[in-house]
C-alpha cells in the first residue's frame, strides 16, 4: 500500500499510522491507533533499491500514541536520493501490513501511512 504524503494542516486525528522527522534527523513511526502493535520494523529503501539497514531493529508492543525511531534521515545524502520510507507492522486487528510513502527524490519522510478513512475501510 502506498501512502499519501501529509497535507499541510492535516490533523493528527485523521492519521492512524504516520512518519515524522525530528530536528535531530530521526525518522519516527507514530502509532496513533487505539491498539498496541505486536511488531514494527523499518522497510525504507534508498535510490539504489536496497534497504537502508539490512537488519532493522524490531520494536514489539508499540503502545497507542507512542513513536519509535525507525531510521535516520541523512541531511547530506538523502536529499539527492530517491527514497521510499515505510514500515511493516503487525496489528491484532489488521494483521501484517507493509505501509510505504511515495518514492521521490529528496523527499523528507513526513508521510501519512494509513488514514482514519483507510483504517476503517480495512477493518471492513
Radius of gyration from C-alpha coordinates of the chain: 14
pLDDT tens digit at each of 124 positions of the chain: 544 444 444 456 799 999 998 878 888 999 999 999 999 999 887 654 445 666 788 999 999 999 999 987 776 666 556 677 889 999 999 999 999 987 665 556 678 999 999 999 998 8
Element spanning 111, H or E: strand 111-115
CA 112 to CA 20: how far, in whole Å? 9
- CA 52 remoteness from chain centre: 14
Q: Which domains does the chain have, with CATH numbers?
A: 14-123 (2.60.40)
CA 42 to CA 62: how far, in whole Å? 14
CA 64 to CA 33: how far, in whole Å? 6
Amino acid at each position: 500500500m502506498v501512502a499519501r504524503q501529509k497535507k499541510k494542516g492535516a490533523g493528527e486525528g485523521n492519521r492512524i499510522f504516520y512518519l515524522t522527522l525530528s530536528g535531530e534527523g530521526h525518522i519516527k513511526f507514530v502509532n496513533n491507533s487505539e491498539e498496541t502493535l505486536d511488531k514494527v520494523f523499518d522497510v525504507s529503501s534508498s535510490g539504489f533499491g536496497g534497504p537502508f539497514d539490512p537488519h532493522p531493529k524490531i520494536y514489539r508492543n508499540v503502545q497507542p500514541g507512542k513513536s519509535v525511531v525507525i531510521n535516520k534521515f541523512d541531511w547530506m545524502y538523502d536529499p539527492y536520493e530517491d527514497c521510499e520510507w515505510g514500515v511493516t507492522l503487525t496489528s491484532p486487528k489488521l494483521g501484517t501490513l507493509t505501509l510505504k510513502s511515495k518514492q521521490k527524490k529528496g523527499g523528507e519522510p513526513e508521510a501519512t501511512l494509513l488514514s482514519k478513512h483507510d483504517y476503517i475501510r480495512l477493518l471492513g
